[in-house]
Structure 1
Amino acid sequence: MNGADTAWIIVATALVLFMTLPGLALFYGGLVRARNVLSVFMQCFGIACLMSVLWLAFGYSIAFGDGGLYWGGLGKMFLSGVTADTLSGTIPEVLFFAFQMTFAIITPALIVGAYVERISFGFVMAFSALWMLLVYAPVTHWIWGGGMLSGAEGALFENGVKDFAGGIVVHETAGLAALVVACVLGPRMKKNVPPHNPGYVMLGAAMLWVGWFGFNGGSQLAADGGAAMALTVTHISAATASLTWALYERIKYGKASLVGMVTGTIAGLASITPASGWVSPVEAMMIGAIAGILCQILCGVVKNTFNIDDTLDVFAVHGVGGIFGIIMLSVFGYAGWTEQLGALAVVGIFTVVVSYILVKLVALVFPIRVSEEDEINGLDRTSHGERAYDMAS
């Protein structure tokens, strides 16, 4: 065990949890109507709790067990055989478990942005549970756990896909699942309502930005120069994407908004995630510069061209950002085109098909959508018996 590596990953684990609670909750909560903010907080908090338990019970074993190319098996259920002295590389395996658990928390939580303001809480919890176990955990095994996309013996691609911190594992899977849920769920009754609290959005984005240092820097699993470079390129991409998003928005609409600028931050962070272990600061700046414009354009395409009410632009920002970062690794010569595009296709098809099946199955047990009356009155009061403000808008 290396003490420095262990100390850094302990910090990184806390930072990644901080991304969901309270970062993502505030970011998403500020974007909805005032009468739905607590429902978003509840969904993020509930998912964090449930994924933690399921990751201990089954998820970690499916993702990082020794089952073979397609899944890890159930040999490490409830951390069977893992003690405080068991190592994973140079850190305790229980710490590696905890670090990866925070990824298993935030990935289904990202999908929340696609269905806010109209979905039933029971459906959210049931779908998120099954999705993490049957989509996220297997894909994690395929790429990070020695599975069929990792370059292991017998894998689909000899060299394996390069995905440093989750362009495919986290962002592509969450983005595509968000599209599936949004399509089945249908649009909100009242769209184009401005965010009720842009201040929350900025605070949440700032917390996500800070937490992302643990997300990407921690994925090095060591306290070394690689972690320092990953942290640095992460920051540069986020800063550059924030500026290009704001500039493009100013050119189109005559004004640059706070919500737009910080959404650009998230686009830059998602885009650099898979590449942060290899690219240089200048290459990171290029990725961020393009991401700030590309993801903004795709927000309009999804909503206006395809008429899909992905409410908080999960696919356009996270899905497109993660896919773009994976492709840029080939553009810059760090990975082969076959491996990168092949992995995107395999995981994309798998995610869409299984997510659609899960939506339909869970909807047989839990109503997917609240009633029209409940949607009008807001989910805070109708689903949870609370409200965030004395004067709800």
Structure 2
Amino acid sequence: MAAAGCTMSLTAPLEVLFAEDIGYGPLLIVGFMLTSSFGVIVIDIFGTHCVPALDARLTLTAALALFGLACIGMAVAWTVPIMMGVRLLQGFGGGMMLGGGLQAAVRVPQGPQGPRNPARALGRFNAAFLFGGAVGSPVGLIIAGVVHGVTGYRIAFGITGTLALLIATGVLFTLPSLAAPAGFDRPRIGLPRFDKVPGTLSALLLAMVGDFLRGGVLFTALPLAGAARGFPILGIGVAIGLMSFVEIVMLTVAYRLLARLGLAGLLLSALGLGLACATVLAVDESPLAYLAVSALFGCVLAGTTIGLPLVVVGLVGDSSAGLARFRISAGLGMLAGSAGCATLGTAVGAAPLFWVVTAVLLGGLALAYDLGRILHVAEPVQDVRRVV
């Protein structure tokens, strides 16, 4: 999972800059960002009864292969229709990877340490995937900064695609079969069903905010703000790398913070810090503020994402249908973050964009407060101590 997370994050922060550098206007940039997120959403919504019913090993293999081929396609695409087509395929691969990865996490044999525990399994998946993503996020930007021009971007996409294909091969030949649980419905394409469980809507909306931050701030808003303010690509890569380093450090101590603050307290603290960071970026255009806030956003990302699996287990339900609903909400958040921030960033500039991010974080704070009155997290916290 760490290798997959690293590969899928290698080029994510540079995609919007790549679209600008190859000469796309605002509408094409929005389309470029939208098509990949749309592919993820299609898998998340219409694959609700399909992805959970498949063998998770085969799903991961197909997802990584599709993602890798799409990245290689982006490295060599020469027309807009071809570029948009491979972006859509990249989204399909990403959606299958994220959905299949969650299913794999709860199906891998537990081992000698005790009975299967969904919270523990999801925590391990989340930590490994995020760790890989944090390592990979700055690498593509650094490559593009060293090799100047569009060529650097295309080299980064080619490397990402090759790595994805290699990892797909490794998954196929190293993981055991991870079939759906006995009695699970046959795979079919269809819309999901949502059960009425207290707090479910708040939990799913909060999952949207978490992926909005990753797709909007990390992958779109920060790179766009750096470019708009004249910072070099290598400097933007350093800022993303600093954010990733802080996120990795925070992930290693997350269980202590969760045990001390509780899930609602951790989310409130992270979202409050994010609110302050977005406000600073809206009013201060200095390189020092950009670097400092990038580092602090690493704390925000770690705090918001480490608790989401516990929210899923606590409110959304069982490890198949519940995780599928979680993936839909997270995919919608990623779509809103990447496409929405690309639209605002190219149309009105960085400062108004970060005021919008501030408003989203205010909504997230309200949701976290609401969840704090519903969710009981004592047992999941004990599990997380054995996860990280």
TM-score using structure 2 length? 0.34
* Higher-RCO chain (CA-CA 8 Å, sequence separation at least 6): 2
TM-score using structure 1 length? 0.33
Q: Greater share of helix residues, 1 or 2? A: 2
